[in-house]
Chain A
């Protein structure tokens, strides 16, 4: 099996030669080709080159266009600060929707994308043409809660759930339409799986998640599935109280961050859910040794059971020792 076949088989419920390995690499990948992160995030050729080199060097079975959460917000007109060698960041003090009325002015045509979203689409085309079916190709969109936070300001959004639920619903609908159109465009450019990053959803707790977030995530997942794509869900942070809802979304792959034990994910999501993760990226992957990384990922595998893909809880930190990251591939290849 090549990498692509291995991931496809695992997600299809078929036998694999060994476990797939799909950690998220961004800054770490940029460093492998000596590219400043600004060029990685804004030039698809740099991203593709770094992803392919990193995947080959560290036994990773997929390549991804994930770079930073500001891609869609930037194209909506949000104020984004760019740094030479770290991810672009949204300036919340100048949040695009600090004034809610602005939402009426940023309506955009589904299918029309600005420079950063277009760059991501080009990245997928580049990855597809360079990997020639050898690696599984991953697109990426922000989830409804995360993108709404990016546009409105996360502090504002957290209060809006109580103060102005009608606005939250209106904003979420806008975001869903944009993200679904973006996801479908990525599928057309060659993505086989779409990562949905909905980091802010881990902050809201089960009541608000069920009331506001879940149905929008569900429609995004259904829309991607209807177009023939697969879905990887990643919610940064502590998701222990919303695991059941995450499991009911029907995602092909749920990638848990380290605060939520995979054993709880398995209990809440059932035997058939493919789980990924989830060693602590800093305390274990970066600060550990190859031996402790190998041991820790073995414990994750034990908790998750057979329907499992190797990975860290979140992004691989840029200064992770190479042998520590290689320990993930070594574990995957041995099991």
Chain B
């Protein structure tokens, strides 16, 4: 069996075509899809996150690596599903009501997906009701809220309140981020966590899914 270090490298370098063909070959050779994911793909995106945090990678590099990861994951997913493998968590992510900015949300979604989470991307201008429905109907166990503007940050509070009113707040962890967002604000609105970048959002989400509800 060919060493799948090449798959790791293809994702880190953002080569989607190579990542796809290597994944296809590895499955054809009988490799365990969970091993491919856990030993090569997730570590590759962890490395991308590390490079991003130390300012060696920037948004373009992160996005092309995430695209390579996604391409390979699309090939892997049917086989993972067939084996009954579960993601480490299910994240419903969106930019809050009134806010149309999505680059930050997309970066976090890409890194979380690369980190082994299933992503339910609700898009931009997302109402609290949509987040509630993602918990009720799709089983999200993390809600990730993004806002770029100080004027739309109150929608984060409204969303947390909406989750409480719908009786689903205890079923989920709520994480928030965005340029004007602070840990202080997260504490004020009763969010479970705050992250100031896409890479550390993965570590935060991993920690929270392992905490008792």
Task: Identify A287's interface contact among B55, B58, B99, B184, CB under 8 A.
Answer: B184
Among B21-29, B61-69, B203-211, the stretch in contact with A: B61-69
Task: Identify B151's interface contact among A205, A236, A318, CB under 8 A.
Answer: A318
Task: Identify B101's interface contact among A83, A89, A241, A282, CB under 8 A.
Answer: A89
The CA-CA distance from A240 to B55 in the complex, in Å, is 9
Tally of contact residues, B, Cβ under 8 A = 27
A92→B102 contact, CB < 8 A: yes
Cβ contacts under 8 Å, B84 to chain A: none
A203→B184 contact, CB < 8 A: no
Taken residue by residue from 82 to 115, chain A's Cβ proximity to chain B (1 for < 8 Å, 0 otherwise) reads as 0101110111110000000000000000000000
Taken residue by residue from 220 to 236, chain A's Cβ proximity to chain B (1 for < 8 Å, 0 otherwise) reads as 00000000000000001
Cβ contacts under 8 Å, B60 to chain A: 158-159, 161-162, 203-205, 208
CB-nearest residue of chain B relative to A83? B98
B182→A205 contact, CB < 8 A: no
Tally of contact residues, A, Cβ under 8 A = 34
Which chain B residues in 144-191 approach chain A with CB under 8 Å? 149-152, 179-180, 182, 184
Q: Is B133 interfacial (CB-CB < 8 Å)?
A: no
B64→A208 contact, CB < 8 A: no
Cβ contacts under 8 Å, A203 to chain B: 58-60, 103
* Interface contact tally, CB-CB below 8 A: 73
A208→B58 contact, CB < 8 A: yes
Binding site for A on B (CB under 8 A): 14, 55, 57-61, 63-64, 67, 98-103, 106, 123-124, 149-152, 179-180, 182, 184
Knowing A27-B151, A282-B182 are in contact, say whether A91-B100 is a contact too (CB < 8 A). Answer: yes
Cβ contacts under 8 Å, B55 to chain A: 205, 238, 240-241
Task: Identify A85's interface contact among B58, B64, B103, B151, CB under 8 A.
Answer: B151
Binding site for B on A (CB under 8 A): 27, 81, 83, 85-87, 89-93, 154-155, 158-159, 161-162, 203-205, 208, 236-238, 240-241, 281-283, 286-287, 317-319
The CA-CA distance from A205 to B51 in the complex, in Å, is 12
A155→B102 contact, CB < 8 A: yes
Of the A-B pairs whose beta carbons lie under 8 Å apart in the complex, a sample of 13, sorted by A's number, is A89-B101, A90-B100, A92-B102, A203-B58, A205-B55, A205-B60, A208-B60, A241-B55, A282-B180, A282-B182, A283-B182, A283-B184, A317-B150
Distance of B65 from chain A, by nearest CB (Å): 11
Task: Identify A92's interface contact among B100, B180, B182, B184, CB under 8 A.
Answer: B100
Centre residue among B58, B103, B123 by max chain A CB count within 10 A: B58
B150→A319 contact, CB < 8 A: yes
Task: Identify B123's interface contact among A87, A89, A93, A204, CB under 8 A.
Answer: A93
Knowing A83-B98, A86-B98, A162-B60 are in contact, say whether A155-B149 is a contact too (CB < 8 A). Answer: no
Cβ contacts under 8 Å, A208 to chain B: 58, 60
Centre residue among A83, A236, A318 by max chain B CB count within 10 A: A83
B151→A86 contact, CB < 8 A: yes
Distance of A23 from chain B, by nearest CB (Å): 15
CB-nearest residue of chain A relative to B106? A155
B63→A158 contact, CB < 8 A: yes
Cβ contacts under 8 Å, B101 to chain A: 89
